[in-house]
Amino acid sequence: MAAVLAVSLVVAGCGAGDDGGSGSGEPRRGGTLSYAVNVEAASLDPASCGVQSFDRCAPIFGTLLRYDLDKKEFVGQMAESFSTTDGVSWTLKLRSGVKFSDGTPFDADAVVFNWDRVKDPATLSPALRVTQGMTWKATDPRTVTVTLDKPNYQLPWALVRGLSAIGSPTAIQKAGADVGNAPVGAGPFVLKKWTRNSQLELTRNPDYFETGLPYLDGLVVKVIGADDQRLNALRSGEIDVDWSLLTKDARAIEAEGGYDVYRVPLVGGTGLQFNENDAVVKDEGLRKAMLLAFDSAQINNAVYPGDAPVDAFLRPDAAERDDAMGRFPDKNLAEAQRLFDDYLARTGKSGETVTFTCYAGVPALEQVAQLIQSQMQQINGLTFKLNPVDGATLSQASSKREFQTIMGATLSQEMDRLYDVFHSEGALNVMSYANPKVDEALAVTRSSNDRNEVTTAYKTVVGEISKDGPLRTWRYQTGHLYVKKKVKGIVVAGTNSGASAYFQYAWLG
């Protein structure tokens, strides 16, 4: 792993976190831990859930690599190592004797099968474009060799997220179209029951490769949309761990005592996202008018009191931010109206309607959507129509590019996520956003292994996407886990939606 560990020092990004992996006392076996999140997963297909649903995916499938937030380096998880000398040729070495929970071998052929599914457009994997310019083959039962068409020193991140989940080929073929509901992995837990929009019940995998793990008999992942309801569930003992993005709740729970709070400052945030391929929204003047009507201070004052307004894509103390390169446009309703009137004149229209696909059933985000609606409709002649849907439907609309504007997000522990979201050929660029300066700079972030050069390139990226505003965020977000003191051994993970944990290491004291 020497080459990969050297790489990790360059690609760590700005998301450091508390890692309570050491726990306290001698680990105990037994019990069921209950963990609550805010939205349901769309699917447990390993080709998609590695990107979209870490909380459910990692317990079942594990991840090929893990990024250690404490050490700021990649470590082997389901895989033993992933190494390179030039950023082009990579070698994935698997562990010996690992089996899926159905008894079939977790081997190089299984990795190839899963990655081939990701690469097949018919699978609709959100990690599809990660595989562009990438070929692989099994060279022996424990080895997969990977060849890229150009250097990418950030590739290990793909084995933490998009290409991280490896499912049993036998089970996938047997499940057919139902693959998203019948996951079979080699991770620490196996699926017992999934009641959609309620909870996912998992039990210990007795054949998990890490000796003695997991400590827990079971893991339950509950869906509780409202932040206050999850917090009350934690206080009442209904759950043991609460997922949150709210700093005000973190302060409150710490003051009460009896809980540990784990934090992962995140790259990016949630915001108003534009589909630049839409016949209406592709108009630059219209988008600029809407950006000039956006008011993050109003949103935070009403929904997230104590959080500072957002004036650029990265938080002010980020090493990769340089305000001279660009910031989000300041609110200016007069200029917004002028640009919108110009749009109407150019298109010969008397008014315009733009639809905003947003979350239903998540009170804080419902309130945010209503505030954004009121802000946009300060522009005379613009009707901003809300389309509230559940989390799974919103995720599908995003991945299929079936929206005009949407409550979109990029949240991660690593800066390389920006390549997937904002490069014109990025795996998660649902906006059809294209900026040659961004593409050129993002290419440098992957081709270079020089820390200073990579940081400078990211400054260009952050400046350009702040000026263009394809995703206009309203908060600088931090992922939190609120954990009862009785829960030990938490190993924190940064994810695409906040903070989570590798629960095979958790135990109940």
pLDDT tens profile 360-398 = 988 889 999 999 999 999 999 999 999 999 988 998 999
Quick check: helix, strand or coil at residue 130?
helix
Report the distance separating Cα 460 and Cα 322, nearest Å. 8
- Provide the pLDDT for residue 11: 29
Given a cut of 70, whether residue 8 has pLDDT beyond it is: no
Domain layout of the chain by residue ranges:
2-265+478-508, 267-473
Report the distance separating Cα 152 and Cα 162, nearest Å. 15
Say which DSSP state 328 is in: P
Q: pLDDT digit string (tens) for 199-228?
A: 999 999 999 999 999 999 999 999 998 899
Given a cut of 50, whether residue 21 has pLDDT beyond it is: no
Contacts of 85 (CB under 8 A, 6+ apart): 3
- Provide the pLDDT for residue 343: 98
Helices (DSSP H) in 294-362: which residue ranges? 296-303, 333-347
Given a cut of 90, whether residue 93 has pLDDT beyond it is: yes
CB 325 within 8 A of CB 462: yes
- Provide the pLDDT for residue 82: 98
Cα end-to-end span (Å), the chain:
34
- Provide the pLDDT for residue 404: 98
Report the distance separating Cα 161 and Cα 50, nearest Å. 5
* Tokens 């698997």 found at: 94
Q: How confident is the model at residue 18 (pLDDT cuts 50, 70, 90)?
A: very low
- Find the mean pLDDT for residues 159-178: 96
- Provide the pLDDT for residue 306: 84
Long-range interactions of 20-24: CB distance < 8 A, separation 24+: 20/260, 20/262, 20/483, 20/488, 20/489, 20/490, 20/491, 20/492, 21/70, 21/489, 21/490, 21/491, 21/492, 21/505, 22/489, 23/488, 23/489, 23/490, 23/505, 23/507, 24/488, 24/509
- Provide the pLDDT for residue 22: 43
> Among 273, 284, 291, 286, which residue's Cα sits nearest to residue 333?
291
Report the distance separating Cα 46 and Cα 398, nearest Å. 19
Q: pLDDT digit string (tens) for 265-321?
A: 889 889 999 999 999 999 999 999 999 999 999 999 999 988 889 999 999 999 999
CB burial of residue 83 (10 Å; 0-12, 13-18, 19+): middle
- Provide the pLDDT for residue 228: 93
* Tokens 């949630």 found at: 270
DSSP bridge pairs for 355:
385
Percent of the chain whose predicted confidence (pLDDT) is above 70 = 95
Given a cut of 80, whether residue 90 has pLDDT beyond it is: yes
Given a cut of 80, whether residue 6 has pLDDT beyond it is: no
- Provide the pLDDT for residue 24: 64
Q: How confident is the model at residue 148 (pLDDT cuts 50, 70, 90)?
A: very high
- Find the mean pLDDT for residues 30-42: 95
Given a cut of 80, whether residue 16 has pLDDT beyond it is: no
Report the distance separating Cα 480 and Cα 498, nearest Å. 7
Given a cut of 90, whether residue 72 has pLDDT beyond it is: no
- Find the mean pLDDT for residues 168-175: 98
Given a cut of 50, whether residue 505 has pLDDT beyond it is: yes
DSSP H or E stretch at residue 19: none
Could you tell me the fold of the domain covering 267-473? Dipeptide-binding Protein; domain 3 (3.10.105)
- Provide the pLDDT for residue 467: 97
Report the distance separating Cα 463 and Cα 320, nearest Å. 9
Q: Which region among 3-7, 264-268, 441-445 has the lowest average model confidence (pLDDT)? A: 3-7
- Provide the pLDDT for residue 4: 34
Helices (DSSP H) in 23-182: which residue ranges? 46-52, 54-61, 108-119, 169-175
Q: What is the mean pLDDT of the chain?
A: 92
405-412/487-488 β-pairing: unpaired
Domains 2-265+478-508 and 267-473 share a fold: no
Percent of the chain whose predicted confidence (pLDDT) is above 90 = 82
CA-based Rg of the chain, rounded to a whole angstrom? 22
- Find the mean pLDDT for residues 315-343: 96
- Provide the pLDDT for residue 209: 97
Structural tokens at position 84: 């390179």
Identify which has the larger pLDDT, 420 or 320: 320
Could you tell me the fold of the domain covering 2-265+478-508? D-Maltodextrin-Binding Protein; domain 2 (3.40.190)
